[in-house]
Structure 1
């Protein structure tokens, strides 16, 4: 048995056989609108509210106010309060993109981490993360370095990854192999809207259910999953 971090998302922890393995880095991939960013917000919010675990949200795409509004719009009404009291630390695009290089940005993070205790981290997204680097090789090198830093600081982390395809592109890059787990958010168009699914394709050190499960975006917009696997 390994220690796990519960996500608090209905149905997902059962698929994960309890939760995400502690101190791991998990890639969360999907095309736009599948609920990845809301899942990241929910992961941190549940961490504080349900499990007394503090979190860090790093965004290269939104400012802190946009993130707060997104959280409150899906029912996480105490997000602003949790940020104000330090239970959730937000590094928004105005903070992350003002640095000249990756090392400077990471040094700033490490200085802020010193003397504090956090358990969970969400980075949104790897697409914008890559703007720091001149080529793909450098990007992957620093992704591995960043993942090591997260683990050394005892963080169980979600790295959100944008994909253009409807179905998972499981061979899109080395990111899939550098991370400890891969979770895919999938949506397919129908005559009546879209069907949504979640697939946990990999989780090191954990016996997981690798079927594809239906997912719903509930009232307010927070994701939940339950029921038998879908055949796709």
Structure 2
């Protein structure tokens, strides 16, 4: 039987036959506003709240305070407590750029991942992540290194991106090959808007 990691999201775990495959990397794609970041916040929060699984949230778009505000607006009132006690570790854009170059910051992050006991990780977003690399080869190398280290350390990972935005020169981007599964979110209009 395949080991799964429950997301805690109503309906999604049932669709996924119990959750996301454990120790895997799943790409969460969709247009802006489709709910990618909300899904990821819920994945990290529910891991701590319901399953005693620590999480890391890498945000290339939001700072720590904005993430906490977003989490609390979704009803995740203990987000700040979990961050404070270390159950949730947030690396925001300021922290990820604390070194002179992004490669050094990424190396420090990878060292932290190898040294700590975490079960879940979110990278939000690959679209912003790729902007830190001038060279396509360097970008691909770091993505491969990153996903290998996550797998080696047993993390169940969600990575967000806008469909086709990371490697636009290919119809099916490299990000699809680096991940073990894909969730594509579609925003559908309702009668109320």
Q: Distance in 2 between matches of 1:120 and 1:152?
A: 13
Give the drift of 1:115: 4.0
Contact 1:26 1:181 in 2 (8 A): yes
Q: Distance in 1 between matches of 2:163 and 2:152?
A: 28
**TM-score of the aligned structures, taking structure 1 as reference length:** 0.76
**Runs of 4+ that moved beyond 6 A:** none
For residues 77-226 of structure 1, the aligned pairs below 5 Å read: 77-163=77-163, 171-189=171-189, 192-193=192-193
Q: Distance in 2 between matches of 1:115 and 1:163?
A: 32
SS in 2 for 1:27: strand
Q: Distance in 1 between matches of 2:124 and 2:103?
A: 18
Q: Do the aligned partners of residues 74 and 53 (structure 1) sit closer, same or farther apart at CA in structure 2, a change above 3 Å counting? A: same
Q: Distance in 2 between matches of 1:73 and 1:115?
A: 32
For residues 39-54 of structure 1, the aligned pairs below 5 Å read: 39-54=39-54
Q: Distance in 2 between matches of 1:150 and 1:114?
A: 9
Q: Distance in 2 between matches of 1:6 and 1:128?
A: 27
The alignment yields a C-alpha RMSD, in angstroms, of 2.0
Give the drift of 1:101: 3.6
Give the drift of 1:30: 0.5
Q: Distance in 1 between matches of 2:109 and 2:31?
A: 28
Contact 1:23 1:151 in 2 (8 A): yes
Q: Distance in 2 between matches of 1:190 and 1:116?
A: 43
**TM-score of the aligned structures, taking structure 2 as reference length:** 0.90
Gaps of 5+ in 1: 194-232
Higher percent of residues as helix: 2
SS in 2 for 1:122: strand
Gaps of 5+ in 2: none
Deviation string, structure 1 residues 142-183 (Cα, Å, up to 9, x no partner): 211110011111110000112489xxxx93411111110000
Higher percent of residues as strand: 1
Computing the radius of gyration from Cα coordinates, the structure with the larger value is 1
Give the corresponding residue for 2:7. Answer: 7
Contact 1:60 1:97 in 2 (8 A): no
Q: Distance in 1 between matches of 2:155 and 2:9?
A: 19
